Amino acid sequence: MEPKVDLSKQIKEAAPKSYWSIVLKRLRRNYGALIGGGILLFFIVISVFAPILAPYPIDIMQMESRLQGPSSAHWLGTDEFGRDILSRIMYGGRVSLMMGLVAVSIAGTVGVILGVISGYYRKIDMYIMQLMDILLAFPSLLLAIAIIAVLGVGLTNAMIAVAIAVIPSYVRVVRGTVLSIREKEYIEAVKALGVKDFKIIVKHITPNFLSPVIVLSTLQFGTSILAAASLSFLGLGAQPPTPEWGAMAYVGKSFLLNAWWMSLFPGLAIMLVVLGFNLLGDGLRDALDPRLK
């Protein structure tokens, strides 16, 4: 008697896999991306659930416990006002991650729009790219400081400044992709059929630059958090007593000799989050590359 053949299983295995299922499979095989994702998941969880997980309130001063080193009572020590460093790092993750999210969202939205316009409508391409070249002529941090000098010191202005400094990266990536796609034969054919430009951009051009933009956003997320923390460290971003990692490191530098933990642990949090985004971004770049099998 011949064994039964499971046709449904064979058909399922023979069916072509979707692009995103292949990407997810590649991503699961990339240990660097998994480590980066694990680091980010850890910080996201402790930040979101900070009111539940934080062992101490962040705004109550306990002068009798000031400048205590790491111990069983305070795992990461206390600051100059006796506030628990671990609790402040948990709450600070909300501010730092939100700064990165807002900066990347603004930069990504504006950069993609300008990149598409620049690449598709060549008449105004020169003007947009000249503006981007001017922005790229300045180091990102220096440009952000100059923008804050105009807008004023504060958390919101710091996010706007970081976003403006990041916009040129998106414009150049999207513009390059649009320039190569708009000359393809199928785009010319769609134009000949009378399809409007907006529909061509959304349906035929956007999917081609979506992958590079996702990778760039992941990498720029870490860069934006680092830039925002740098601005706070310089006293231009989040202001005390806001528990932001860069601002905490700035306050801790005055006590570096006798209370090293005040700057070390917020600095480690910044380093780990940026590392997590870089590892995840590298993994996404490899997984989304259609040339890899």
Specify if 165 maps to a domain: yes
Q: Which tops the pLDDT comparison, 223 or 5?
A: 223
Specify if 231 maps to a domain: yes
Give residue-wise pLDDT tens across range 242-275: 888 988 888 888 888 888 999 999 999 999 999 9
At residue 192 the predicted structure's pLDDT band, cuts being 50, 70 and 90, is confident
The Cα–Cα gap between 75 and 81 comes to 16
Please give the model's pTM, rounded to 2 decimal places.
0.84
**φ and ψ at residue 107, rounded to 5 degrees:** -65, -40
Handedness of CA 73, 76, 81, 83 (dihedral sign): negative
Dig out the tokens for 1 from the structure: 């008697």
| Helix ranges restricted to H, 197-241 | 197-200, 206-233
The listed range with the strongest mean pLDDT (108-117, 211-220, 279-288) is: 108-117
Mean pLDDT calculated for residue range 198-217: 85
pLDDT at 1: 46
Q: Collapsing DSSP states into helix, strand and coil, what is residue 78?
A: strand
Q: Which of 82, 184, 127 is nearest to 192 (CA)?
A: 184
Mean pLDDT calculated for residue range 45-57: 92
Mean pLDDT calculated for residue range 158-169: 91
Q: Collapsing DSSP states into helix, strand and coil, what is residue 75?
A: coil
Amino acid identity of residue 111, one-letter, is G
Specify if 119 maps to a domain: yes
Identify the H or E element spanning 191. Answer: helix 185-192
Specify if 34 maps to a domain: no
pLDDT at 289: 67
**Domain of residue 203, residue span:** 39-47+83-288
The Cα–Cα gap between 247 and 127 comes to 38
Inter-residue contact 153 to 239 (CB < 8 Å):
yes
Inter-residue contact 87 to 56 (CB < 8 Å):
yes
Mean pLDDT calculated for residue range 10-31: 66
Non-local (6+) Cβ contacts of 111 within 8 A are 166, 167, 168, 169, 170, 171, 174
Dig out the tokens for 148 from the structure: 């804050």
Amino acid identity of residue 108, one-letter, is G
Q: Kindly state the percentage of the chain with pLDDT values over 70.
A: 91
- pLDDT higher than threshold 60 for residue 165: yes
- pLDDT higher than threshold 60 for residue 292: no
At residue 58 the predicted structure's pLDDT band, cuts being 50, 70 and 90, is confident
CATH code of the domain in which 210 resides: 1.10.3720.10
The Cα–Cα gap between 205 and 184 comes to 10
Structural domain count, the chain: 1
At residue 52 the predicted structure's pLDDT band, cuts being 50, 70 and 90, is very high
Specify if 21 maps to a domain: no
The Cα–Cα gap between 130 and 146 comes to 19
pLDDT at 11: 46
- pLDDT higher than threshold 60 for residue 216: yes
pLDDT at 12: 47
Specify if 78 maps to a domain: no
Specify the length of the chain in residues: 293
Cβ-based burial of 163 (10 A; exposed 0-12, middle 13-18, buried ≥19): buried
Mean pLDDT calculated for residue range 75-80: 90
Specify if 142 maps to a domain: yes
Specify if 57 maps to a domain: no
At CA 133, angle to CA 142 and CA 180, rounded to 5?
135
pLDDT at 184: 81
